[in-house]
Chains A and B, each alone.
Chain A
């Protein structure tokens, strides 16, 4: 260390380069090890791209003929009769159930998950934070069929009074309208999904919150911030991109969750009147496909279900893209 200039080795922090993160550099030596490892890494990267493309192509390939024969509007119809010479099917009900239940799950899981993560990293005494973190991770390891069983057999009864209350007090609002269905409502599925994705949100948020540089936290504290103000000015802004990624990962899981939803959901009979109520039953993309897996006997039928799967694929794709954009836009402010 030079005591003359006041400059220490700590000053020599490398600054991030502005070039493309994918761009190679001049460090490659052309030796066998370098080429071998470089080749393997490139291959792995290429494989992922190829897989996504192939899955997309497969879905399109199978779905297009079925869509071409469809006599109902695919995007706006509720019908689903895929057998016979005049197949009529549409996804609006599946889309609504999937999106609505997942959004409910997000609305519940993200605030709670962020709260749990903040508790573990900022508030809990040290002897408690480790076991609490492990416990949350354990929750992530519970198989989804267990959630399904527990949801139907035990949790169902606990949620019913809440549903009744909301329907009686807020029934004038279309989303909470009375339906008479008591069982696997969208609302209930949303709650079970929230519990399933809670550990994802918590675990990832905890990780980023724990990485908040001490310098940022002390900067806030030295200004006379209370603990909550310190969290608001340094921990939350630092963790924001991580929380967004965590939420999107969780949303992806919620959108695609199959077993638990299939188990719980109250399938609507074809003639059932439609409503926007969250207390309606309905099926998600995944549960409809799973419920009818036995029917995949003709390319026509299979194609219809694959078309539904394609929409789910695009949906998760869009969700991820939005998350990317949100994170990118904040990038200038996160160094």
Chain B
């Protein structure tokens, strides 16, 4: 069910401000692609264009093409709501629905899709929580509020919620930046497990993390504050970290700036 993403010549705007310019890249199915780069370089902004979450922000718009296999996500007959049902997203801070139980959080996406049968829901909730390595920790308290879990558990709950609807692609926007090292490790292991089934794109500020979890890495940079961010290069992760073809990438990775 994993699909390929082809982006060509994408410009991203906030109102008049061009935040990201001229991105062209391919994201392979069943792989992990990491976006790295200094703050403000537009990697999160770009990530959000891949499931049309960017346009939720007033003034947010894009130019260019994003193809999911052969379907242009920005074609005029495509419903952004349908896009977001196919391409799931996990955010920087865990955001389980605070008024819902653990069970209801995972079932939320299915219920939005009109699934009502208790048996089907039970099944998917268990499968998703197992998929997110959370089942054993929460199986005895599925009816307790999701907000009562630890930060790392909450983030895995959000991942369970995202995979419950069986998306084609999973986008993760710095999913570990609000977590402690142990929870971070748990999420990274999970990403490793998930990539056999999903196309995963992850934004991270943590280069070790990019090196650990990703197959391919894209380096974004911006010329100066107020200028649009650009994709500098995208390549196999071990090449980016050991032998990048652009000098700026090497400078960033070796800590000479950023």
Contact = CB atoms under 8 A, between A and B. Distances in A.
Interface string B72-116: 000000000111111011010101111111000000110011000
Contacts of B98: 216, 237-238, 333-335
A215 B91 contact: yes
Contacts of B88: 222-223
A166 to B, nearest CB: 37
A226 B85 CA distance: 10
Nearest to B161: A223
Interface centre among A126, A224, A240 (most CB of B within 10 A): A224
Interface in A1-21: 1, 3-8, 10-11
Contacts of A229: 112
Interface residues of A, number: 33
A8 B206 CA distance: 11
Contact of B209 (A6, A213, A223, A234): A6
B151 to A, nearest CB: 7
A11 B112 contact: no
B81 A215 contact: no
A136 interface: no
Contact of B176 (A6, A126, A222): A6
Contact of B181 (A7, A10, A219): A7
A216 B184 contact: no
A11 B165 contact: no
A330 B99 CA distance: 8
B53 A333 contact: no
Given A4-B208, A238-B98, A224 B178 contact: no
A218 interface: yes
A216 B97 contact: yes
Contact of B99 (A215, A219, A226, A238): A238
B207 to A, nearest CB: 6
A220 interface: yes
B22 interface: no
Contacts of B113: 224
Nearest to A331: B145
A10 B99 CA distance: 23
Contacts of A223: 84-85, 88, 108-109, 112, 161-162, 165
Interface centre among A213, A222, A224, A240 (most CB of B within 10 A): A222
Contacts of B93: 10, 215
Interface of B: 51, 53, 56, 58, 81-86, 88-89, 91, 93, 95-101, 108-109, 112-113, 145, 147-148, 151, 158, 161-162, 165, 176-181, 184, 204-209
Given A7-B181, A11-B180, 13 more contacts: A3-B206, A7-B178, A11-B178, A216-B98, A218-B56, A218-B91, A219-B95, A220-B97, A222-B51, A222-B53, A223-B84, A223-B165, A233-B97
Interface of A: 1, 3-8, 10-11, 126, 213, 215-216, 218-226, 229, 233-234, 237-238, 240, 330, 332-335
